[in-house]
Amino acid sequence: MHDEMSLKEIQKEWHGSYRAYAIGFIGSLLFTLLSFFLVLSQTLIGAPLVYTLSGLSLTQAILQFVFFLHVGQEPKPKWETVLFAFMILVLLIIVLGTLWIMHDLNDRVMVGM
């Protein structure tokens, strides 16, 4: 059914490179340091700080998904990318839906407690 590929072919199939790892690692390091020192220095407080930290963590996750996990870099048909997009959709439904419902319940049921 399937021809077993040779080692050379498989080694070519994996997209990792020194350049991608350098970008991914240094980028992640910068984002981590930036988040950490934003919290320590308290230049921002309250909601703006929370939103900035969320943004930084999302950017770092995208960076790692692209440079470490090679999302979107496979040849067509891009099944891995499709699965990734579907996972994000389900994740958003779970996370936003739960937060919405639980906050709503909290407001309606826990009044005066």
Partner 1 sequence: MSDSLTIHHTREPFPDTSVPDPHQDIFSKTTLGFWMYLMTDCLVFATLFVTYAVLRHNTFGGPDSRTLLELPTAFIETLILLTSSLTSGLGLLAAKRSHRTALLGWFALTFVLGASFVAIEMHEFTQFVHAGHSWTRSAFLSSFFTLVGTHGAHVTSGLIWMCIMMGQVFFHGITVANFRRLVLFNMFWHFLDVVWIFIFTYVYLIGVL
- Binding of partner 1 at residue 30 (CB under 8 A)? no
86 binds partner 1 (CB under 8 A): yes
Q: DSSP 3-state assignment of 78?
A: coil
Whether residue 24 contacts residue 63, with contact meaning beta carbons closer than 8 Å, is answered with yes
Cβ 63 vs Cβ 32: under 8 Å:
no
Mapping DSSP onto H, E and C, the string for 35-77 reads: HHHHHHHCCCCHHHHHHHHHHHHHHHHHHHHHHCCCCCCCCCC
Residues in contact with 67: Cβ distance below 8 Å, sequence separation at least 6, in sequence order: 20, 21, 23, 24, 27
Q: Binding to partner 1 by residue 7, rule CB under 8 A?
A: yes
Indicate the residue among 17 and 43 with the shorter CB distance to partner 1. 17
112 near partner 1, judged by CB under 8 A: no
Whose CA is closest to 31, among 72, 77, 84, 67? 67
Shortest distance, position 27 Cβ to partner 1, whole Å: 10
When asked if residue 57 is in the footprint of partner 1 (CB under 8 A), the reply is yes
What is the nearest approach in angstroms of partner 1 to the Cβ of residue 70?
Answer: 9
Q: Please tell me whether residue 107 binds partner 1 under the rule CB under 8 A.
A: no
- Among 30, 48, 83, 104, the residue binding partner 1 under the rule CB under 8 A is 83
What residue ranges bind partner 1 (CB under 8 A)?
1-7, 10-11, 13-14, 16-18, 21, 24-25, 28-29, 32, 35-36, 39-40, 45, 49-50, 53-54, 56-57, 60-61, 64-65, 68-69, 74-75, 77, 79-80, 83-84, 86-87, 90-91, 94-95, 98-99, 102
